[in-house]
Chain A
């Protein structure tokens, strides 16, 4: 699957947000949103990034595009380190990578027509304007399953699923290599969700796109990903090829995450082992392994020593002392 150099290689990505308190807004602590995350995505490959709210998965996605400035770490796009690229250089790099968001309504400008939204980047990057732009836009419309007659409509005239198609068409307009998909189907109804997931898969096959697919729905992630990385409180705790991860999850957190998903089959009602407690605050994280406060197997060393990611099977990495 992977070509010689990965399309995206992230190494040691870290992002801390300062927490300010009181009248002088003094920094009283840091949210450790992302803490030393590394991964690579090959051409035509989808890496599913999963985890619960606050685990840092969206911050990873935004850092990759430098929509938030990473505190440390490197991001390589096609072998080129872009972590310190200036604004002008970033403009060029952004042609190679785009993002689609969960909520297509708030990510689309309500005062622009659908055609202008989809064609905006073509104009900004000086690729096409006027008739050429319109022709390219109608091509994109058709490719994502919208009618070219809808070009002059406004976003509110589209349904939720159609708006997500607009977001996809816009992201495709510059023929990027990588698209960061940040919960692209979580706000959609299931019948529409299936349409959008299938579209993303088709586009990947057709254009050799790479996806960083951020989601909390594990069934959707299993369906679309080639590899999966599981995050907990800012760190990747397990990463593996899709089949290995779902066949035999190694990290206790991955296990409990998979066990918690309700199964749409009433003959399989299970006595489920449900982990107790809430995810701890990313401002005041537990020492050692962040998961030890909820882990059924935790031992003394888990409370003091943070486990490193180790390769336990080919391409299957786990950060756990016990596995």
Chain B
């Protein structure tokens, strides 16, 4: 799985939004590497900057009011940040594609599913209409939509939510992208459909070798699909580790709080012993991004915070192999 070089490298990304309330620092100095074939999950709560980070990779941030104010986005050796619009359009849907939470808003309601999938193939691979339509049917079959030929002639509203998400995935994979960005791909779906779609993404990724950036707030989804996890809080990366390491040894107080506050489903014999305790809470709420405290953004909610935390922003340190954390108080807790 480890290739010689990452397929995508984001360095020191800064994204800002200008509004009546001043400048909102949505993403502050976020860096990460994405290796071929791996799934990197970016997790965090609303407003932590996970979606903005993902959208910035494809330069989909509306500008104004948004602006990529600093950093580099390297796809192989090309910096996407400085690419002319015509060239970034060649990257979108071809080398990097994206699927969204709500397929209904991402699909065009007046065009057939087959046409919308074929469009990327006509644009990026120069197929003619008939060939593109034939490929679209194959792709729908590939994402396990029953009766693909009939579905290709239908419009988005004629498909169920799960099927629309499958069609979106077919569209995203049409040009065999190197990177697939999935922004909360299953959040709007029922749990049985969510399981089907996650399985589909994992399976297709194995067969095509696509690297996936999975944006989600659901730690269950992370635990079941990710290889590596990046935790964001108030626009900054606060922790990054391999998935097993992160769940076994969360080092940032925010990550620990997040893991503790999720109610766990206890099945089988565990259902008997399931503790009658209170859910752990993280006190308070996320500070407004236009008015971040000096020092560590998590300090106002952190049980460990001291004077240092309130004045000096902690740098990201790798305190265990492949495990980085931005906290003054984080220590290697051993095996």
Contact = CB atoms under 8 A, between A and B. Distances in A.
A222 B247 contact: no
A127 B272 CA distance: 44
Given A189-B45, A218-B265, A274 B195 contact: yes
B191 A257 contact: yes
Given A246-B271, A260-B194, A190 B223 contact: no
A52 B262 contact: no
A256 B267 CA distance: 12
A267 B248 CA distance: 9
A214 B216 CA distance: 24
B263 A220 contact: yes
Nearest to B280: A194
B247 A279 contact: no
Question: Looking at B162, B262, B263, which has the most chain A CB atoms within 10 Å of its CB?
Answer: B263
Contact of B271 (A198, A247, A278): A247
A323 interface: no
A307 interface: no
B261 A194 contact: yes
A243 interface: yes
A258 B192 CA distance: 9
B15 interface: no
B199 interface: yes
A201 B279 CA distance: 10
A269 B39 CA distance: 15
A87 B12 CA distance: 62
Interface in B223-247: 223-224, 226, 243-244, 247
Given A246-B271, A261-B220, A189 B192 contact: no
A266 interface: yes
Interface in B162-197: 162-163, 190-196
A263 interface: yes
A69 to B, nearest CB: 27
A interface secondary structure, majority: helix
Contacts of B220: 261-264
Given A53-B190, A216-B191, A267 B244 contact: yes
Interface residues of A, number: 47
A282 B278 CA distance: 38
Contacts, number: 135
A198 B280 CA distance: 9
A262 B221 contact: yes
A191 interface: yes
Contacts of A256: 192
A190 to B, nearest CB: 5
B274 interface: yes
B191 A218 contact: yes
A261 B243 contact: no
B55 interface: no
Contacts of B162: 278
B19 to A, nearest CB: 15
Contacts of B193: 52, 278
Given A189-B46, A198-B279, A279 B190 contact: yes
Given A219-B263, A258-B267, A272 B195 contact: yes
A93 B195 CA distance: 42
Contact of A191 (B258, B272, B278): B258
9 contacts: A189-B45, A190-B217, A195-B281, A222-B274, A262-B221, A263-B223, A264-B222, A275-B192, A278-B193
Given A53-B161, A190-B45, 9 more contacts: A194-B261, A222-B265, A242-B271, A260-B191, A261-B191, A261-B265, A263-B264, A264-B219, A276-B196
